[in-house]
Amino acid sequence: MENNLLKKLNEYTRREFKEDEVYIFSVILCDNEIDRDNECFSVTALNEMKSLFLGKTGIFDHNARSQNQTARIFETEVVTDEERLTKSGEAYSCLKATAYMVRTKSNEDLIREIDGGIKKEVSVSCSAGKRVCSVCNTDTEESACIHKGGKKYGGKVCHFILSDITDAYEWSFVAVPAQINAGVTKKFEERRESLRKKAKRLCFLCSCDEDIEKMSHKELEELCARLEKSVPKSFGAEVKSDSEDISLYKMKREK
């Protein structure tokens, strides 16, 4: 695990936790795409929620009971994909968060369900000060308008843009979220898997016999740093490759 990631996590704990004591995963909380309720968050709203959701707890089905607390957010970022457009023609943006759980006997099954893609979809609970109609620009929080979400007016589908976020309450695992794209992502696991692949290549090049599959993120980082110093210069350029194909290395070594 990256040291700065664990450091950020420990800002929310009463004592410092080690890597093997916590489970970390990334999740898309919400985005600027039009959802099932014919609403969407503005990019400004996503940036407002970036700080508001730090430290917020994850529960189930928006049932605000302490028994339902399962995870906590310790890092957030707004990500924009300029090549992907929303239904309204804007560049796609989403609020991504990194959350953690303390590993316990009672949440072993939940962790497996998250890893297996069963527990994935999430929904956020927050307070929006504005709800603006995309057709007439009326803020429906102040006055009503005649337009209905999902219906076309002059060839334009009506939806409502949420902004002026004043508070963020919680985020929940749900079966059917209003926001189609909201849910657990593979960001952290992909980072770990990439490091594991790098370690495998380095072990092959250095003729090192290590049980990589049982290593923690930190142990993999330390192994890679150590082995990189021992890699023959002729292999130096290929070490950074993300390819899993080691036939090139094998051919060079046989030569």
Domain shared by 146 and 200, yes or no: no
Quote the CA–CA distance of 255 and 39 in Å, as a whole number. 62
Domain count, the chain: 2
Phi, psi of 148 (to 5 degrees): -115, 130
Residue pLDDT, tens place only, 173-212: 998 888 888 877 654 455 667 778 888 888 888 888 888 7
The one-letter amino acid code at 29 reads L
Residue pLDDT, tens place only, 201-242: 888 888 888 887 767 666 787 888 888 888 765 554 444 444
Q: Give the mean model confidence (pLDDT) for residues 36-54.
A: 95
- Residue 35 pLDDT more than 80? yes
Residue 50 belongs to a domain: yes
Domain shared by 141 and 206, yes or no: no
Domain shared by 122 and 204, yes or no: no
Domain coverage including residue 173:
3-185
Residue 18 belongs to a domain: yes
The domain that contains 66 carries what CATH number? Answer: 3.20.16
Quote the CA–CA distance of 180 and 141 in Å, as a whole number. 24
What is the model's pTM?
0.70
Domain shared by 233 and 139, yes or no: no
Residue 249 belongs to a domain: no
Residue 251 belongs to a domain: no
Compute the CA torsion angle 82, 86, 89, 94 (nearest 10 deg).
-50
Domain shared by 217 and 180, yes or no: no
Residue pLDDT, tens place only, 65-112: 777 889 999 999 999 999 899 999 999 999 999 999 999 999 999 999
Quote the CA–CA distance of 76 and 89 in Å, as a whole number. 25
Domain shared by 130 and 213, yes or no: no
Domain shared by 83 and 165, yes or no: yes
Q: Look-up: residue for tokens 């508070």?
A: 167
